[in-house]
Amino acid sequence: MNIGEALQGLAAILGIFYTIRIYRQARDKYPVFTYQQHSAGNQADWRWRIPDEELTLKLEEKDEVSRIHIPVRMLFFEKMCIYAGFVGAMLVIYLYGLLFVRDAGLPEYMIGLLFVFLSVALLNVGSRVSSISLHKNHLVITESYALFLKRLYIYKHEKQLSFAGKSDSLFELTVDHTEPDYKLYIKRKYLHIFSTQRKLILSVNQSQGSWLVAGLEYWRDHAGVQEVKTSLLQ
């Protein structure tokens, strides 16, 4: 073993120990938070409760919506993938234009289609949730992707929804990715037999993520209750 290989091995070992230390610090510094104990009451049960200052979550209140804004944190590797996706998309446009002029056959078009799928996959690398909006009868989650594009996920208020979350594991961290992300899982059951599940990524710590998940469960259990009571009294 020469000196270069020894230094590379030492750097790898130091990187592993550094990642473990960062993971433990994040886990200990940001414990799981309960929803009601770390918030104050709001105007209605369907709205987000007012988060404690230590959570550093921005709450926006409007007449028909209660929205939590979430910062988006992207890795250098993810940005490079997105740039490659844009380059791939431009190549696809050029390639299909070229194939159309030359009256190409099926194999050439299949290669172009492969580039389309690859470009779309690269553009979706690093997608993060940028806001979660609560309404009386539905939930809207805004996801940022491809640097400046956004898409919406809309869920009707129903008891069949379930929410769960967890921070990145130790094995998902790298030297570039030292701050764990938080995964949000949204599951919906159909006929008590079938179910669908979506996984979303949030750039929040464990305290913020656990508080948000508990808040979504609170919204599921309490939204609409006040409206039912009011209609019964009328």
**Token code pair at residue 74:** 């992207």
Q: In this model, does residue 108 exceed pLDDT 80?
A: no
pLDDT tens figures, 14-51: 555 555 665 566 566 778 899 999 999 998 999 999 99
pLDDT tens figures, 193-214: 788 999 999 999 999 999 999 9
Radius of gyration of the chain (CA): 23
Greatest Cα pair distance, the chain, in angstroms, is 85
Domain residue spans of the chain:
3-57+157-233, 77-123
pLDDT tens figures, 3-18: 655 555 555 555 555 5
Residue 162 is predicted with a pLDDT of 93
Q: In this model, does residue 233 exceed pLDDT 50?
A: no
Residue among 150, 89, 149, 147 nearest 119 (CA): 89
Pick the range with the lowest mean pLDDT from 29-43, 50-64, 84-98, 182-196: 84-98
Contact 202/70 with Cβ under 8 angstroms? yes
Residues contacting residue 123 through CB under 8 Å, at least 6 positions apart: 82, 85, 86, 89, 145, 146, 149
Give the pTM. Answer: 0.80
Q: In this model, does residue 230 exceed pLDDT 50?
A: no
**Token code pair at residue 125:** 């690398």
Residue 44 is predicted with a pLDDT of 92
Place of tokens 């369907």: 46
- pLDDT classification of 111: cutoffs 50, 70, 90: confident
Residue 183 is predicted with a pLDDT of 94
